[in-house]
Structure 1
Amino acid sequence: MRLSIVSVVSVLLGTGIASAESVDPTEVQYDEYGAVEASLSGVPGDPASGAEIMKSRAKGNCIACHEVEVLKDAPFHGEVGPALNGVGSRWSEAEMRGIVANAKMTYDGTMMPAFYKTEGFIRPGDGYTGKAGKEPLPPILSAQEIEDVVAFLMTLKEE
């Protein structure tokens, strides 16, 4: 019996099921339309956490540009980006992951920030110093935070 348990644990660890590793922002695989099939964290996203990230001015702050009816308790929804009501019915999880990670891979010229990018910026600022930042910069959101936001967005279905 002991040998069987050790074998099962070894197989699980070898396949990554027991411990997930995040994909580095420089290693994200986008398809030709900007979709990202594989999870960035290897862990399912938490929709409740994703909703909080979208409202947080220190994190995603998605509602600064997008209207989201189910987040009406958060003030000041923007109108710069499209309303996100029903996006879970319009895009697949892979498409949504790609848009949140780096929308420029799907929509060339978009104003939406790349939330999971660390290099290749035009000229990022270094805090409030007035000087250009040194790359690599940390991503705005972690791999798990991207998965959480995607999980929340996928709950927004057309009625």
Structure 2
Amino acid sequence: MKIAFLAAAAIALTATGVTAEIVKPQDVAYVDGAVATSLTGTPGNAENGAVIMNKGAGNCIACHEVTALNHLPFHGEIGPMLDGVADRWSEAELRGIVANAKIMFEGSMMPSFYKTSGFTRLGDAYTGKAHPEGEVKPLLTAQEIEDVVAYLMTLKYD
């Protein structure tokens, strides 16, 4: 019964055109480095966030150590340890840090994972040429940011 109701609700929302709007990188509202609202309107998937922490454009553990991910090799020591990060930062602050840490921490070496403009000499992969205008994509999608934040919110000492 509950599943049927949820399915009907999802169909009704789709039929009425009510969907979550993805916030574009240039439209993210930072307040003291924090981003209060979801970039997607969809809850993050902590399990997928843990995968992003280790692979692809995320690869957070290249710079950070996370005890819960000790089964994975090559944790970095450049960035702070992320154990207990959800005790130190709010969800909004973590979203802002992952999206663009340089806003909260000027001079940070952490990449801006949800930024598409304002770069100095942005190169086009390994071509030796400048990146084509208007074709810069963020390192992580809005949903990937939400997934990483959802995973980070599980990293509490309690």
- The two structures have a TM-score, normalised by structure 2, of 0.87
Q: Is the 8 A contact 1:119 1:135 kept in 2?
A: no
Identity of aligned residues (%): 60
Q: Which residue of 1 aligns with 2:27?
A: 27
- Deviations 1:26-74, CA, capped at 9 Å, x for gaps: 000000x100001001100000000000110x22010000001101111
Name the SS of the counterpart of 1:105 in structure 2: helix
Paired amino acid for 2:36:
E
How is 1:65-80 mapped onto 2 (pairs within 5 angstroms)? 65-80=63-78
Q: Which residue of 2 aligns with 1:152?
A: 151
Q: 1:158 deviation in Å?
A: 1.8
- Deviations 1:78-131, CA, capped at 9 Å, x for gaps: 001011010011000000000000001100010100000111111222111122
Q: Which residue of 2 aligns with 1:98?
A: 96
Provide the aligned C-alpha RMSD in A.
Answer: 1.7
Unaligned runs of 5+ in 1: none
1:119 to 117, 122, 135: 117
Distance 2:16 2:109 in 1: 41
Q: Is the 8 A contact 1:102 1:115 kept in 2?
A: yes
Distance 1:106 1:94 in 2: 12
Name the SS of the counterpart of 1:55 in structure 2: coil
Distance 2:142 2:83 in 1: 23
Distance 2:91 2:16 in 1: 26
Displacement over 6 Å in runs of 4+: none
Query: Does the C-alpha gap of structure 1 residues 81 and 135 become closer, same or farther in structure 2, counting only changes over 3 Å?
Result: farther
Distance 2:128 2:89 in 1: 38
Q: Which residue of 1 aligns with 2:4?
A: none
Paired amino acid for 2:155:
L
Unaligned runs of 5+ in 2: 1-7
Q: Is the 8 A contact 1:88 1:153 kept in 2?
A: yes
Paired amino acid for 2:147:
D
Distance 1:124 1:87 in 2: 31
Q: Which residue of 2 aligns with 1:43?
A: 42
Distance 2:139 2:24 in 1: 13
- The two structures have a TM-score, normalised by structure 1, of 0.86
- Give the total of aligned pairs: 146
